[in-house]
Amino acid sequence: MSDKDIARLTDSVFTGKQIQNNSNNNLYFKELNQNQKKAVETLDGPLLVLSGAGTGKTRVLTARIANLLFSSKAKPWNILAVTFTNKAAKEMRERLENLIGPSVNNIWLGTFHSIAARVLRENAELVSLKSNFTIINTDDQKRLLKELIIFEKLDEKKITPQFVLHLINTWKDMGLTVNDILNSEKQYLIDGKAGVLFKNYQQRLLDMNYVDFADLLLHNLNIFNSHQDVLDKLKIKIKYFLIDEYQDTNTAQYLWLKMLVKPENNICCVGDDDQSIYGWRGADVRNILNFEKDFNDAKILRLEENYRSSKYILSAANTLIANNKYRLGKSLKTSIETGEKINIVQAWDGLDEARKISTKIETLIKQGVNFDEIAVLVRAGYQTRLFEERFVHIGLPYKVVGVKFYERLEIRDALAYFRLLIQKSDDLAFERIINSPKRGIGPQTINFIKNYSRDKSKSLFNSIKDLVQTDEFRPGVKLTLKNFIKNYDIWEDDLNKISHVDLAMKILEESGYIQSLKVEKSLESEGRLENLKELVNAMSAFDNMIGFLEHIALVNDSDAEHKDGQISLMTLHAAKGLEFSAVFLPCWEEGSFPSQRSIDEKGKEGLEEERRLAYVGITRAKKHLCISCASSRQIYGNWQNVIPSRFIEELPEKEIIGADFNVINNTSNHFEDYEFNQDYNNNEKFHNIMNSGSSYNQINDQNRLNEDYSSNLKIGEKVFHIKFGTGSIIDIDDDKVEVNFDKAGIKKVIGSYLKNKF
């Protein structure tokens, strides 16, 4: 069908008369509130729609597109609508199809990268590509970069492909080209080879007619800058721009949009600066904050009517986010009067926290809340472990959005190391780890070992013991296998000499596994290191490694289909855009949330992004919200006191219950150890809450010991602590008692939580 035919068809479909006669469309527009209608009806010029959580932004976007067509402002091909995910694009397309029919197929609707790919295929020759170019995957990118690293004679163990790829992607997301890097000091990074590696990488991609994901936009920018005719042609065709999740745009996406929309500036950006949580992957919140500066005569409309959450939840969200300095400002409101105040729970430790949350979930289930209407949202992936184990133990059905803790790659690798130590005949474990991390043991070597194993009816491990006594392998491979055997001999000897927790750490260190993750210097590798740390923490609850491995086998065997739904376990980042009747937000402690790493790397900007992440978590809840923290956490098997997150203090007192944290830690004495900001250390309101002294009756009676006992304690006395076990008192300072515990070492605890051993 020609453009003229499509135009005639469109003209016949989208008339003012039709919208009046179409009851469905009429109803659709009537359901919009006042500010939503303004956003739909403001068609010309730059418009920023600040759409808070649960305020109906998708409805506004689809209705606005429909109105552009119904009002004859545009034909379908004159409209470009950009989303951030294929899922969001599919949802918008389905909604539009219900409104406007098959003409939706003529709208430029997709993600930034899918639309950029379309433009690039039509103009590939302008950047020395062919139109049938291939988008290279991540694995192939790493392989290519590895070749270039070797060619430049760089240390492969120090300079990893993952690290170089992360650096190049960061530059591309910032809109920086090879020439930009070669003309800056950045070229001297990576032992002075950054610029050369980037240049050679890009040239190899061109030679093979490849582009990477970030290239799609970067090549577009290059074409727009160098070929005005191409840019002008697109501007003639596309007259109206609608951008979803504008707060998540990076610099390259921002520049791409700016070039396309000028000078008419018929652009509508929908977003929420308070939900900008992807700074770690290049998103720049300044894009939305500076909208008025970027576009003259820009209008800002605020969608503040929330259709999701109770008034208590919204009040908490509003009060919390108001502590951010860099925001455009809005306040969510609702007509929903039902719901309950936000419950704040403090636990002894992670296990106690998991128990308390699971008990509350069981209560909600009895009250009629469905399993799939309940979510536990954590700051970091490793924090799901305790909840997974607890849910398995008591039979609560759950799903992990992402990968379950014990099914993650690095966890399976670590467990394989431990399994092989306990059982040398575990060939599956051997095969998994013999070249993890990379040791130069290729498929040919492994097949040779397996053939020998079958012929001699020996395990793979015992087979290499035989084979290293021969000259069957190259000297390098032979030495590697000898060292592998030697390590296992040492670890086996350590089984009865050191604790299984210490041994686990020793194995992960001496195998080179931890070091291989450290040199990657990527967000992914940092997450894997955190998961391994949590794995070691999990082992401390067991008497030996065998008992732990048996436990894991039982946990992994618990999968089943549940017709009544499953509780969702996921990170806060993964939860964005979702909603649940009941939400649990655990692990709200300083250092964990807000993340120490984020604050260390970005300072106040990092703290504000962490607060926005907390805001996202709170606004996922419709009726029930529970926030929890613990008084102590395990780090590599050692207990450390922790303090509640400052975000708890920032919640409105009138909207919360249970915020009394008076026992276990004298919290105010720990503030000086956390240099997050000075204002926090001197916050009178927080200390008043912390010292209100009422509620630690939340602790089970069986766990709460005689509070009057502390005055009778004596130095040298044998005592018992519910967490640390048996020990001897070595110092007493008021109610703070220093105890040398038999297994945990020297700890300072609260005297009222000690009991005389004899």
Q: Which residues are catalytic?
A: 57-58, 244-245, 275, 620
Contact call for residues 47 and 298 (beta carbons, < 8 A)? yes
Rounded-to-10 torsion of CA 225, 220, 49, 248: -120
Tokens of residue 137, six digits = 């995957």
C-alpha span between 579 and 508 (Å, rounded): 39
C-alpha span between 153 and 416 (Å, rounded): 33
Contact call for residues 300 and 292 (beta carbons, < 8 A)? yes
Peptide bond before 475: cis, by omega within 30 degrees of 0? no
Contact call for residues 670 and 643 (beta carbons, < 8 A)? yes
**b/e code 544-554 from CB counts within 10 Å (16+ = b):** ebeebbebbee
Strand order in the sheet with 725-733: 745-750, 736-741, 725-733, 718-721, 754-756
Give which of 615, 600, 641 is closest to 753, Cα–Cα: 641
Strand order in the sheet with 656-657: 398-400, 567-571, 374-378, 580-585, 621-630, 342-347, 656-657
C-alpha span between 679 and 676 (Å, rounded): 9
C-alpha span between 593 and 643 (Å, rounded): 11
Contact call for residues 296 and 267 (beta carbons, < 8 A)? no
Contact call for residues 414 and 513 (beta carbons, < 8 A)? yes
How many Cβ atoms from other residues are within 10 Å of residue 389's Cβ?
21
Q: How many angstroms from the chain centroid is the CA of residue 424?
A: 37
C-alpha span between 216 and 129 (Å, rounded): 12
Contact call for residues 593 and 379 (beta carbons, < 8 A)? yes
Pairing state between β 718-721 and 754-756:
antiparallel
- HEC letters along 344-396: EEEECCHHHHHHHHHHHHHHHHHCCCCHHHEEEEECCHHHHHHHHHHHHHHCC
Contact call for residues 354 and 387 (beta carbons, < 8 A)? yes
Neighbour-count burial of 612, counting CB atoms closer than 10 A to its CB (0-12 exposed, 13-18 middle, 19+ buried): buried
Taking each helix axis from N to C terminus, what angle separates 86-100 and 57-70, rounded to the nearest 10 degrees? Answer: 40
C-alpha span between 513 and 517 (Å, rounded): 7
Contact call for residues 710 and 717 (beta carbons, < 8 A)? no
Q: Report the SS3 class of residue 215.
A: helix
